[in-house]
C-alpha cells in the first residue's frame, strides 16, 4: 500500500492547488476501474494455466482486473506527454502498482515524422498497444498472452513514425527498446523461467544495438464507399533471448480490422466489426542444436473476432482463438536428464459476449468461454465472467 499512499500524497496537493482543473489546464486526469465476477470449471493452478493474461480474471469469485490512472497533456509547443499508472490486486490478494506507460511525443516534426520516447507498449499488431479497458473481450487472446506476455510487450525505448505521402493512410514505424524486464516475454524477460530444455538461462547485458529489441510496423487504412473502413498491418520483432550469446527471437505478425457503419446512424450504432490477427515466433537457440538437428523452435497462433452493435448501447460479440506451442518433457538416461519433444500442444477457445454501454463512461459485459481442456486432462472447460467498468475524468478516444 505504500506506493499508492505516496502517489496520493503527490496528486492531492496538485488537485487542491488547482493545477489539474480550472481555466488553465496543464494535465488531463482520468481514472478507470475494471472489475470481474464469475468463475470457471477449474480452479487454482489450472485456472492460472487457462487464463494466461495478467489482467484476465484468474480466480473464481471477484477480480480487480485493472485500475488505471492516466495523465495526458501538452508539455510545451514541441511535445505532448502521457503517463499511465496501473493498480491491481492479484490472485493472491496483493496490491500492485506499476508504470504501464510514460512517454512523450513530438508535435511538429516535418515530413510526416513523429518521435516517441519513454516507456511504452511495443507497436506490434493491433491488440498489444491497447489498454485493457479498450478490449472487446474480458480476457486476452491466447496467442497474445503466450508470445507477447500477459502484461503486453512493453519497455523503455524510442520509436519513429512516418506518415508516408501515399494517396491512402500509410504509416511506417520503427523502434528500439530494452529487451529485458518482466514484460519482455520471448526475449530477455523470461524472469519466471530459469531453464530452457533443462539448460540454465543466462543473464545477458546490453553491449550493443544488437542486444536491443527492434520493432517495425506498416499500417494502411482505406475506405470503401461511405460505410466500410479497413485497416491492414504488418509487424515484426527481433531481439536476443537468454539461451546463450547467440540466442535470438523473431516474431512476425499480420492483422486486419474492418468496420461497417452506415452514414446515417444513432451515435455510432448500428455497426459490425471484424478483427483478425496472426503471429509466428521463431525461437533460435544454440541449445536446440545440441539436442536436435533443428536450431529454431517455431510456434504460432491467431484469433478472429467480430462485434455487432445491433442497438444503441448494445454489442454482441464472438471470438475464436488458436495456439500451437512446442512442448517438452525431461527423461532420465543414466545420471543425465534429457529433454525430448512430446508433442505440439494445441489450444482452442471459443468465446461469446454481450456488452451494454449506458454511456461512454461505463460498460457491463457478460462473457462465456469454452476451452478445449485437453492440456488440463479435461475435454472441455467452461468459464462465465461478468465484467463492469467505470471511468472518471477526461479520456482520449479509442483508436479506430
Q: How many CB atoms lie within 10 A of CB 346?
A: 13
Question: Does residue 24 belong to any structural domain of this protein?
Answer: no
User: Mean pLDDT of all residues in the chain?
Assistant: 88
CA 393 to chain CA centroid, Å, is 24
pLDDT score of 343: 64
Cell numbers 523502434: residue: 175
Distance CA 267, CA 189 (A): 43
| Burial readout 142-161 (b: 16 or more C-beta within 10 A, e: otherwise) | bbbbbbbbbbbbbbbbebbb
Report the CATH number that the domain containing residue 325 is assigned in CATH.
2.40.160.10
pLDDT score of 154: 97
pLDDT score of 338: 56
pLDDT, tens only, 205-241: 788 898 999 999 999 999 999 999 999 999 999 999 9
Question: Does residue 3 belong to any structural domain of this protein?
Answer: no
DSSP 398: P
pLDDT, tens only, 308-350: 999 999 999 999 999 998 776 555 555 555 555 556 789 999 9
C-alpha cell at 40: 470457471
pLDDT score of 335: 59
Question: Does residue 344 belong to any structural domain of this protein?
Answer: yes
pLDDT score of 38: 98
Domain that holds residue 127: 35-64+100-393
Question: Does residue 76 belong to any structural domain of this protein?
Answer: no
pLDDT score of 194: 59
Count of structural domains, the chain:
1
Question: Does residue 85 belong to any structural domain of this protein?
Answer: no
Alpha helices in 193-348 (DSSP H): 286-291
Full-model pTM:
0.90
Question: Does residue 90 belong to any structural domain of this protein?
Answer: no
Low-confidence ranges of the chain (pLDDT < 50): 10, 12-24, 192, 400
pLDDT score of 100: 95
CA distances from residue 190 to 58, 163, 195, 287, 358 in whole angstroms, order as listed: 20, 34, 9, 16, 41
In 3D space, the residue among 186, 216, 375 whose CA is nearest the CA of residue 298 turns out to be 186
pLDDT score of 337: 55
Count each helix (H run) and each strand (E run) in the chain, helices first.
4, 18
Question: Does residue 74 belong to any structural domain of this protein?
Answer: no
Amino acid at each position: 500500500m505504500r506506493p499508492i499512499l505516496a502517489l496520493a500524497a503527490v496528486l492531492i496537493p496538485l488537485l487542491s492547488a488547482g493545477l489539474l482543473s480550472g481555466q488553465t489546464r496543464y494535465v488531463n486526469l482520468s481514472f478507470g476501474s475494471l472489475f470481474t465476477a464469475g468463475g470457471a470449471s477449474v480452479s487454482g493452478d489450472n485456472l492460472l494455466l487457462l487464463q494466461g493474461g495478467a489482467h484476465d480474471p484468474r480466480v473464481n469469485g471477484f477480480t480487480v482486473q485493472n485500475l488505471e490512472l492516466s495523465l495526458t497533456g501538452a508539455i510545451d509547443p514541441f511535445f505532448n506527454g502521457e503517463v499511465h499508472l496501473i493498480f491491481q490486486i492479484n490472485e493472491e490478494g496483493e496490491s500492485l502498482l506499476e508504470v504501464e506507460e510514460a512517454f512523450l511525443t513530438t508535435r511538429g516534426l516535418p515530413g510526416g515524422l513523429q518521435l516517441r520516447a519513454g516507456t511504452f507498449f511495443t507497436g506490434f499488431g493491433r491488440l498489444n498497444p491497447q489498454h485493457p479497458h479498450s478490449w472487446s473481450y474480458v480476457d486476452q487472446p491466447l496467442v497474445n498472452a503466450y508470445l507477447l506476455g500477459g502484461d503486453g510487450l512493453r519497455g523503455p525505448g524510442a520509436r519513429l513514425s512516418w506518415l508516408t505521402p501515399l494517396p491512402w493512410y500509410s504509416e511506417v514505424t520503427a523502434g528500439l527498446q530494452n529487451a529485458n524486464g518482466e514484460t519482455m516475454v520471448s526475449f530477455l524477460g523470461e524472469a519466471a523461467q530459469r531453464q530452457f530444455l533443462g539448460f540454465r538461462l543466462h543473464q545477458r547485458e546490453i553491449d550493443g544495438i544488437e542486444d536491443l529489441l527492434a520493432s517495425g510496423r506498416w499500417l494502411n487504412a482505406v475506405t470503401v464507399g461511405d460505410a466500410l473502413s479497413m485497416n491492414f498491418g504488418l509487424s515484426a520483432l527481433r531481439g536476443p533471448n537468454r539461451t546463450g550469446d547467440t540466442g535470438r527471437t523473431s516474431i512476425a505478425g499480420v492483422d486486419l480490422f474492418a468496420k461497417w457503419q452506415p452514414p446515417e446512424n444513432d451515435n455510432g450504432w448500428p455497426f459490425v466489426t471484424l478483427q483478425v490477427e496472426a503471429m509466428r515466433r521463431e525461437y533460435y537457440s544454440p541449445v536446440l542444436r545440441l539436442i536436435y538437428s533443428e536450431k529454431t523452435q517455431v510456434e504460432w497462433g491467431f484469433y478472429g473476432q467480430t462485434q455487432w452493435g445491433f442497438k444503441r448501447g448494445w454489442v454482441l460479440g464472438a471470438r475464436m482463438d488458436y495456439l500451437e506451442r512446442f512442448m517438452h518433457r525431461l527423461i532420465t538416461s543414466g545420471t543425465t536428464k534429457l529433454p525430448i519433444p512430446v508433442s505440439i500442444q494445441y489450444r482452442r477457445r471459443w468465446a461469446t459476449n454481450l456488452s451494454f454501454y449506458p454511456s461512454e463512461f461505463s460498460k457491463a459485459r457478460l462473457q462465456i468461454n469454452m476451452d478445449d481442456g485437453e492440456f488440463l486432462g479435461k475435454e472441455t472447460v467452461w468459464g462465465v465472467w461478468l465484467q463492469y467498468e467505470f471511468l472518471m475524468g477526461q479520456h482520449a478516444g479509442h483508436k479506430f
